[in-house]
Copies of this chain bind each other. A is one copy, B any other.
Amino acid sequence: MTQRSINADRLLGHLNALGQIGRDEAGRLVRLAASDADRAGRDAVASWMRDAGLQVVVDRVGNLFGLSHDAAEPGAAPIMLGSHIDSVIDAGIYDGCYGVLAGLEVIQTLRELGITPARPLAVAAFTNEEGVRYAPDMLGSLAYVGGLSVDDALATIGTDGSVLGAELQRIGYAGTAEPGFLRPHAYVELHIEQGPVLEREGLRLGAVENLQGISWQRVTIDGVANHAGTTPMSMRHDAGQAAARVITFLRDRVAGANAPTVATVGCLSFEPNAINVIPSRATFTVDLRDPDETRLLAEEAALARYLEELAIAEEVTISVERLARFQPVTFDAGIVALIEAAAAARGLRSRRMTSGAGHDAQMLARICPAAMIFVPSIGGISHNPREHTPDADLVAGANVLLDTVSRLCAG
């Protein structure tokens, strides 16, 4: 196989053009799912799909597909590429869009080279991956694989009180195809890493072999408010003190374990939150992630035990609410090996790695072999206008996707 390459200028042009669509008055990129900004972004992507000669199909939950039927076996299960184009508030231009536009670029390149792949090819932009406007995140791909009924998906109420189904109608992206209408032969998602590992290790590419399980909990500790000056240390039931002990316990345990587990307390509030009053209540979130379900369960159990001991030691009341729980996902080892081989063939230093964030690929993995490709994120920064990946890495990643698709068709 000669070394083909995608059209770098076209890919980067599409990325930068899409990145200008959905700017608010302050210049921030805000392309929330099923908003006017999302419609404008979808319109651009659909027009580029048509330019590439693809058939544009929208399913009932708004997932947008570009289909290339030009295949040796037109009726065979397709190779699907994709990601999402909805964004967070004040987003960067790469998250999601890169996977959609690189998928389109790969298919367009193969078509332009006159190559007839063994199977049909498809590129997908799934609805509401970010979950900023509608919960849960990854809603479109979840519905696509049958994890959420179409009726429930369309009835979802947004943070702004809107109804997803009505908003899809309003923006003209309530399609007629039944979610799941195409059952892929394989799914490959190209994405920025959104973490610092590749850059720190001086690597160009990650072959993503699994995706962390996620455990989100909210912990509420109730103690007793009292005067900060007149209450001896020994007579306190300080909810804030107890919360601080949980935070240090989590870090000391997880950081000392030589395992890929990560633990984060991102939200914390005290009541009454007065300088001279001992906190009566502390509320905080715990985000625990691990690619191994057994270890994730063990971490959850260790936290639960610690909270029980702490409640006794500090004479406080502790309650825990589960906010979210996803088991880890293992991607297809065969596709991961193809990705690694493709990187090596292009002289790109790579490693196998774990996705710390959730992605549409984890949903597609329920119905077909799936894997992901990561490219470096400078500084590990994402969900932020400073999100950045060098052009050379964007192009290299798309070329590895091109090679992976070629090998999947051949294989």
- Measured CB to CB, the residues of A under 8 A from B are 193-197, 200, 212, 214, 216, 226-235, 238, 240-241, 243-245, 247-248, 251, 254-255, 260-270, 273-279, 285, 287, 289, 323, 355-358, 380-383
A-B pairs with lowest CB-CB distance, top 8: A195-B230, A229-B356, A230-B356, A244-B247, A228-B264, A244-B244, A233-B255, A275-B285
User: Contact: A230 with B270, CB < 8 Å?
Assistant: no
User: Contact: A273 with B266, CB < 8 Å?
Assistant: yes
User: Contact: B267 with A273, CB < 8 Å?
Assistant: yes
Instruction: Please measure, in the bound complex, the distance between the C-alpha atom of A260 and the C-alpha atom of B251, giving whole angstroms.
Output: 31
User: Contact: B268 with A276, CB < 8 Å?
Assistant: no
Q: Given contact pairs A230-B382, A240-B268, A244-B247, enumerate 4 new A-B contacts (beta carbons under 8 Å).
A: A233-B251, A235-B380, A266-B274, A275-B285
User: Contact: B251 with A248, CB < 8 Å?
Assistant: no
Instruction: Please measure, in the bound complex, the distance between the C-alpha atom of A262 and the C-alpha atom of B266, giving whole angstroms.
Output: 28
- CB-CB under 8 A from A262, the residues of chain B are 228-229, 231-233
User: Contact: A275 with B279, CB < 8 Å?
Assistant: no
A107 CB to closest chain B CB (Å) equals 28
- CB-CB under 8 A from A248, the residues of chain B are 241, 244-245, 248
**Closest residue of B by beta carbon distance from A200:** B235
User: Assembly of this chain: how many copies?
Assistant: 2
Sampled A-B contacts (10; CB under 8 Å): A193-B230, A226-B380, A226-B381, A227-B380, A227-B383, A244-B248, A264-B276, A267-B273, A276-B287, A277-B383
User: Contact: A227 with B276, CB < 8 Å?
Assistant: no
- CB-CB under 8 A from A277, the residues of chain B are 264, 266, 383
- CB-CB under 8 A from A287, the residues of chain B are 228-229, 275-276
User: Contact: A266 with B260, CB < 8 Å?
Assistant: no
Instruction: Please measure, in the bound complex, the distance between the C-alpha atom of A265 and the C-alpha atom of B278, giving whole angstroms.
Output: 7
Interface residue from B229, B240, B261 paired with A265 (Cβ < 8 Å): B240
**Closest residue of B by beta carbon distance from A255:** B233
Known contacts A248-B244, A275-B323, A231 near B266 by CB under 8 Å: no
Instruction: Please measure, in the bound complex, the distance between the C-alpha atom of A265 and the C-alpha atom of B193, giving whole angstroms.
Output: 38
Instruction: Please measure, in the bound complex, the distance between the C-alpha atom of A230 and the C-alpha atom of B230, giving whole angstroms.
Output: 45
Known contacts A248-B248, A277-B266, A231 near B289 by CB under 8 Å: no
